[in-house]
Every structure is written in C-alpha cells, then in structure tokens.
Structure 1
Amino acid sequence: MLRFLPLKLGRLYRCLKLLLVLGLSVVLLMNTHTLFASFQKNELTDRRFLNLNKCPACFGTSWCRKFMNGQVSFETWGRLRFLDIFNVKNVFFAQYGEPREGTRRIVLKRLGSNQELADIDQKICKRATGRPRCDLIQAMYKTEFARLNGDVRLLTPDVVEGWSDLVHCPSQRLLDRIVRRYAETKDSGSFLLKNLKDTERMQLLMTLAFNPEPLVLQSFPSDEGWPFAKYLGACGRMVAVNYVGEELWSFYHAPWEKRVDLAKQLMDIAEQLTNNDFDFALYLLDVSFDNFAVGPRDGKVIVVDAENVVVADKRLIKQNKPENYDVWYESKFEECDKEACLSFSKDMLCSRVTVDHNYYAICQNLLSRYATWRGSRGGLLHDPPAHIAKDGQLEAMLEECANPKKRYGRFAAAKELREYLTQLSGAAR
C-alpha cells in the first residue's frame, strides 16, 4: 500500500496545479475589461495612488509635475495591480520620457511594504490624537516632525539621533550635509533648516525616520563618484531612482573573468565606503546579491538598496576620543544557516576610527564559500579555474577575509585580495 503513496501525492500535486491554473484563467476571463482598462490607464497620474493626498506625511513633491504630465508610466506588467501581491517590497519598473531625450527606464519605490506604510499612518495618528485613524495632514503638525517648524536654524544630532541607521550616531557635519543636499526643495544648497518650508522640513524628517535611503542617495550622490543609484525625485510616497541594470545575482554563473571583475569592484566599494577623503565611513548593514546591480553598458557595480547604511563621522570620533577609539575594530565572524547573515554592533561602528565591517560583509555574504543565496552556496568566486584552485592563494585570502584566524587578519587579507583581483582582471584583458 505504501508504494502507491508517492504516486498518489504526485497526482494530487498535478491536480492542485491544474486547479490553480484554471482558477487564474477564470479570474482573468472575469476581469478582462478591468485588465484592458489597466493597460490603458496611467495610474501614476492619480494623486491617491501616489499618496500625494497624505503629504506632508510623504517623501516629497519634486517630481509631481512629471508624474501628473504623464511622463512616467509603468512598464507592461507593472500596470496589473493584482500582481502586487508578489511585489512585497513595492519596487516597480517604469519608463520616463523627456521630449528631447526620448524615454529611459527608471525604478519607482514606495520605500516600504503596504503594511509598513499603514503602520506609519497609525503611529502618526496615535501620537497626535491617541486614535489609530485621523486626518493625517492635520496630525502631522502635532508630531515631532513639526517640532522644528518656525525659525529653527539647524537640524541637530540631539533631535534625530537613533531615528534610523543613517543617523544612529549623527554629527553636525553629517546633518548639515543632509539638509544642504536635500533635493525636495527649490532652495537646496543651504545647511540652514530655517530656509526650508514647514512642509519640506516635515517631509525630510519623516523620510529620515521611516526609510532614509533617498537621503543617503542625495547626500552621497553618484555624480560625485559614490557607488549608489542616482536619486531622481519623489511624488507623495513614490520615489524615483535611476535604473542601474540587472541584479548581481544574474551574474552568479557568468564567465570567470566577468565574476573576477565584479568581485574586484565589490572590494573597491568596500574600501571607498570605509576610507575616503571626506572622513565619513558608510557601513553597509544589509549586504546580499539583490542589493547590488550591474550596469549593462559599463559593467559598473552599484548599490541599489541604501536603507540600512550607518554613517560614522571619523573626524568627530577623533575629536571626542571615546574609549579605544584608535584601536582597530574587527567584526566577529558568525556562521549561520540563513541567507545574508551579518554580525555587527552599531555602537562599535560609531566609536572606532578603523573598522573592517565592509570587507567582512562583502567577503562573507558575496565572495567566499560562506555566501549563501537562493539555495546556492559558494559566493561569486565559486569554481575558479584549475590553476587558480591548485595555487590555493585565492581560497586562503577569501577565508581570512571572511573568517580571520590572525589578529587584524581581515585588514591584511582584504588589501591582498584587492591587489590579487586587480592582477587577475588585468591579465584577462
């Protein structure tokens, strides 16, 4: 009797699969008119769809004219709203057109799931009225987001410290940079908070507290060589950024020479974000294959998810001299059976001048044998050519970079790995 069990389960699976297909077909047939309407209508001109009606409890309005003029439209499948159940992160691909420049692909983000956005509304209402539902626009003026309205001169660390990763340990220099480069105002360029309108201040603060990714992209722009996607603008709760290219995971099985080049770029990003002329250390807390993308033309690797970035001001650390500030900090390796695992202390990242976190994150989660993603293990540099595998040099450097056995071993291994990958890239050309 037991020998027939797998057969019965197989038939049951096929029946369920057939029923699912038939069910979807029925839904499509019943909603044919709605589907045609979806393809004809541009929802990105709808104020309520953009949540523009909730401003200033939103991310900005700098791109509203472009949305309302129909210059931004979803790509084909993005117009079908019933597919949103699979789009938990609320990230959409769209086309943006300029009369003289033609159209180009961009990415639209709501910066959170529908539930997370609903939770924000509820929190605002509870803080303002004590009730879960309210007039959101009126409620905003009774929250901490409106505290700085009026003639307040500066955005200071004591007001926003700990609101999000970006300002886990803010310096006045960082906050001045955020305000000065705030793109959702016509009067950008001044670090004086009082030069912003009341609504603009509240939008800036809400973005800082809810998801600071737009402020990271504005404060450390791609135009100046930072490895982030370019920020374009916002309308309501829809933010537009430049489309970079396919996610890094698409290159997992690319030719060895291509993967070596990508690995070198990743280590270069780790170095740039850790040590730069601005003395800001940007530590990536969420490092996975889908948080990086590769340009189709130049092959450049770019960070496409900058929500979880801690920014430490090295000048402030040197000035305040907290305990052991000048002792090199080594991130502790912890192997786990989940994807994209990282072990870190935000407070340590904020109190040491020399930190190996970015090298650790890239090596462990993207390059080494410990990297696990979508059921695959082995990292971007898996299955090297026979002569490289036989040499053992690469494997040793990756192991020491991810899981160092010597004191300060990761620092040395990261430097050696960058140089080694540079040599391999040069030899492949």
Structure 2
Amino acid sequence: MFSKILSITVVLVSLFTYWYLWTISLTKISERHTCPYCYGESYCSELHKNVFLIYNSLNAIAFNLLSVKNVYFANNGEYDVVIKKLGSKSKLAGLGEQMPIRDNTIDLKNALMNPHRDFQVCNNLTALHFLQEFNGKNRKNLWTIININAEPLLLELFNHKYFAVPRLIGYCGRAVIEQHSGNPLNSIENFDWYKRAKVAKQLLKAAEQFTFGHAKFRLYLTDISPDNIAISDDLVVTFVDLGHGILIDKSSAILVISGSHYTEPFNDDEYGFSRQEVCGSAISDHNVYAVCKLLLSVTAPWPMMRNGLLHSPPPELNAKDLFEHIEQCVYTTEKVSRFKLCAKIQQILDDIVVQVL
C-alpha cells in the first residue's frame, strides 16, 4: 500500500514539475509583448530558438523554479548565461502607470535625476552627456531601462573588455541576457590563501578602473558585497550588479572647486557614504574605501566576508605591511591618499602571488 502511494506521489510530483517548467518558458519570462516599453529586442530570435533554462546546480534550481530576484540561469548552446528581469514583479507591473506622454530628452533626464533611484547621476551635465552616449537607442527602450534599472546601460558604457563587468549579450522584451560570470565571492572563502590574494588584487584594480578607467565618466559603486561579485573557475573577478551607483561626468567634475573627496570612515559596524560629497568633488576615493572596508578588512561588517577575504594567512607568510596598509585604507585619519595605499597593497600582493602561483 505504501509503495503504491509513493509511486502515485512521484508521478504527481513529476507532472507538477513538468507543468511548472513549461509555464516558466522563456517566452513568458521575456514579456516581449510589452515592447516598445521594454529593454529591446536585439536577442529575441536567439533567445527563443537557442537558449534553454538549466537545472544543473542547486543555485540554478532555486533561481529558476522559485524566481529568486527575478533572475534565471540558462545556456545558449555555447556557454551559460544569466537572464535578468532587473526588477521585482510589482515594480515591472507598475511601470505602465509611469509612462510619459512624450519620449523626449526632458523625460529621460528627469528619470535619470530622480533622487529616489538606486542609480543616480550627479548633475544635469552628467545626465545629458550620459544620454548622448545612447542617441541611437530607441527612446522608449531607453526610458524603460532607466526607470527599472540602469545596469544594462552601464554595461554598454563600461564594456566587459576593459572593465570587470559581465558581457552584455542582448535584450528581449523585459529581459536582459548576460554571460554567466561565476559563483559569488563568498564561494572562495576557504580557498587557498594565495588564490584569494590574487582575487583581492583584482578587486582593488577594479575599484581603480571604475574611478579612472573610462574616458568620460567615473562610476562609484554603492552596493559592493560578496553577492554582487562573481568569481569564475579561473579566478577572474566580475562585478555583476551595477544597479546601485553614482555616475559623474569628468568634464563636469573638473569644474568642481572642492577637488578630491576623502571618504570619512564610519564606526566599525557601519558603512555609509555621502552622495552629495561624492558628487561635489572632482574625484572620490569611495570605490577603494568600499573594497577595503567591506571585502578586505578584518573588521568587514556582516554579511560581508568574515574577517575579510585575506583571513587566515599561512604561518610562513610575512605580510605585516599588507594588513597594516589594508586597515589604514579603512581607518586612516590623516587623509593619506587611498589611491597610493591601493597601489602599495596591489604591489605587495603581486610580490607574494608571483612567488607562489
């Protein structure tokens, strides 16, 4: 009797699973019917023809079956991809109530300048110069992306070939497709120390690149955390969530009299920043401070990596200067240049890693 009930249960569960997987088809996920108030349609043909959801890991199963964060894991026949809706179901559903009568530069600029958005531009000139970068893009698509999540635009602006960001593959409806970049930073928490040192160097380099690397803009990330940083199998770092940030145009920044912005350290268990101070300066050390404070310091606050990424150094390692520089990067009260400290830390890490890896 028990075995019969078990068999029936297995059949019912299998049927339910099959039905559920069918109902979350990529056609339904993409919501192409919402266009032109969508992200775009550049990848629709490939999405519906060559891409399929995958269930080859607990992470993929959880995200694909439970719609965690409205993110899905798939494969396009060549490599794994991530399909992002960029917003919650309620946020996407409420977009229709915000649609403008016009689709002009004023509407787009106003959307960018909204102080309640996770991604913010520092001033009108930055907003206008940012929009000029996308003159060839459909304005309804542009308005939709700005109002939901500006991340895809930043991926276009800060190309993966030059910055530690995902490769943007394309758009379909209200879905953006990116190449899968790896597992969260916390997945290497117990890796060999020297491998973690290699990753730490990349984190600092990326902080510099977002600050200095673009010809026209500086991007300051305001939601740096292990969940928002991916590590590939060959230990390549990718910042996978750019939806929270501050953008300033370099040409407008040089007009600011106050010069460099030094990020004042907060209490041990706190992390904060001042958008007004970041935007009110030609350059800020915010990115370097955030990496040191949240990822590398032994006092990194929860839920960041416990005791920092470089915890538990091997006993044979003589790296007193390394850890002193990291803590100085966080807590210095002498306004020592964090950029100089960042360079010193990277050099020390280079010297250590090159001897081992």
TM-score in terms of structure 2 length: 0.86
- With over 3 angstroms needed to count, the CA separation of the structure-2 counterparts of 1:302 and 1:175, relative to structure 1, is farther
Q: How far is 1:165 from its partner?
A: 4.7
Aligned to 2:258: 325
Structure 2 distance, partners of 1:94, 1:204, is 25
* 1:285 matches 2:267: no
Q: How far is 1:72 from its partner?
A: 1.0
Pick from 335, 344, 361: which aligns with 2:267?
335
Aligned to 1:255: 192
Q: Secondary structure at the match of 1:108?
A: strand
Structure 2 distance, partners of 1:387, 1:80, is 42
Are the aligned partners of 2:263 and 2:285 in contact in 1 as well (CA < 8 Å)? yes
Aligned to 1:316: 252
Structure 2 distance, partners of 1:79, 1:268, is 30
Pick from 274, 299, 306: which aligns with 1:345?
274
Q: How far is 1:253 from its partner?
A: 0.9
User: Per chain length, whose mean CA-contact separation is higher, i.e. which structure has more relative contact order (CA < 8 Å, sep 6+)?
Assistant: 2
Aligned to 1:215: 153
Between 156-165 and 206-215, report the one with greater CA deviation.
156-165
Structure 1 distance, partners of 2:167, 2:187, is 21
Aligned to 2:48: 68
Q: Secondary structure at the match of 1:76?
A: coil
Q: How far is 1:411 from its partner?
A: 3.9
* TM-superposition CA deviations, 1:202-225 (whole Å, max 9, x none): 1211211211111110111113x1
- With over 3 angstroms needed to count, the CA separation of the structure-2 counterparts of 1:300 and 1:375, relative to structure 1, is closer
Are the aligned partners of 2:329 and 2:341 in contact in 1 as well (CA < 8 Å)? yes
* TM-superposition CA deviations, 1:145-192 (whole Å, max 9, x none): x4235xx7x9874663236454422565665555545xxxxxxxxx3x
Aligned to 1:89: 69
* TM-superposition CA deviations, 1:249-273 (whole Å, max 9, x none): 1111111110111001111111111
Aligned to 1:51: 31
* 1:427 matches 2:344: no
Aligned to 1:110: 85
Are the aligned partners of 1:156 and 1:172 in contact in 2 as well (CA < 8 Å)? no
Pick from 93, 103, 118: which aligns with 1:148?
103
Structure 2 unmatched ranges of 5 or more: 1-6
Q: How far is 1:372 from its partner?
A: 3.9
Q: Secondary structure at the match of 1:293?
A: strand
Pick from 202, 209, 212: which aligns with 2:140?
202
Structure 1 distance, partners of 2:346, 2:131, is 31
Q: What code does the residue aligned with 1:220 have?
A: F
Q: What code does the residue aligned with 2:347 have?
A: E
Are the aligned partners of 1:157 and 1:172 in contact in 2 as well (CA < 8 Å)? no
Structure 1 distance, partners of 2:252, 2:184, is 35
Aligned to 1:240: 177
Q: How far is 1:426 from its partner?
A: 2.0
Structure 2 distance, partners of 1:159, 1:208, is 7
* 1:356 matches 2:285: yes
Structure 2 distance, partners of 1:27, 1:240, is 37
- With over 3 angstroms needed to count, the CA separation of the structure-2 counterparts of 1:378 and 1:204, relative to structure 1, is same
Q: How many residues align?
A: 349
Larger Cα Rg: Structure 1 or Structure 2? 1
Q: How far is 1:114 from its partner?
A: 2.3
- With over 3 angstroms needed to count, the CA separation of the structure-2 counterparts of 1:156 and 1:88, relative to structure 1, is closer
Give the CA RMSD over aligned residues.
3.1
Q: Secondary structure at the match of 2:199?
A: helix
Q: How far is 1:242 from its partner?
A: 0.6
Aligned to 2:239: 303
Q: How far is 1:80 from its partner?
A: 7.2
Structure 1 unmatched ranges of 5 or more: 1-24, 98-102, 128-142, 182-190
Structure 1 distance, partners of 2:61, 2:288, is 41
* TM-superposition CA deviations, 1:283-327 (whole Å, max 9, x none): 010011111112224x321111111121111221213x3xx421x
Q: How far is 1:83 from its partner?
A: 6.6
* TM-superposition CA deviations, 1:341-367 (whole Å, max 9, x none): 531111221121131101110011111
Q: How does 1:335-414 map to 2 (within 5 A)?
A: 335=267, 337=269, 342-373=271-302, 377-388=306-317, 392-408=320-336, 410-414=338-342
Q: What code does the residue aligned with 1:300 have?
A: V
- With over 3 angstroms needed to count, the CA separation of the structure-2 counterparts of 1:269 and 1:81, relative to structure 1, is closer
- With over 3 angstroms needed to count, the CA separation of the structure-2 counterparts of 1:155 and 1:34, relative to structure 1, is same
- With over 3 angstroms needed to count, the CA separation of the structure-2 counterparts of 1:411 and 1:27, relative to structure 1, is farther
Aligned to 1:160: 112
Q: How far is 1:332 from its partner?
A: 2.2
Identity %: 28
Pick from 1, 14, 31: which aligns with 1:32?
14
Aligned to 1:417: 345
- With over 3 angstroms needed to count, the CA separation of the structure-2 counterparts of 1:348 and 1:165, relative to structure 1, is farther
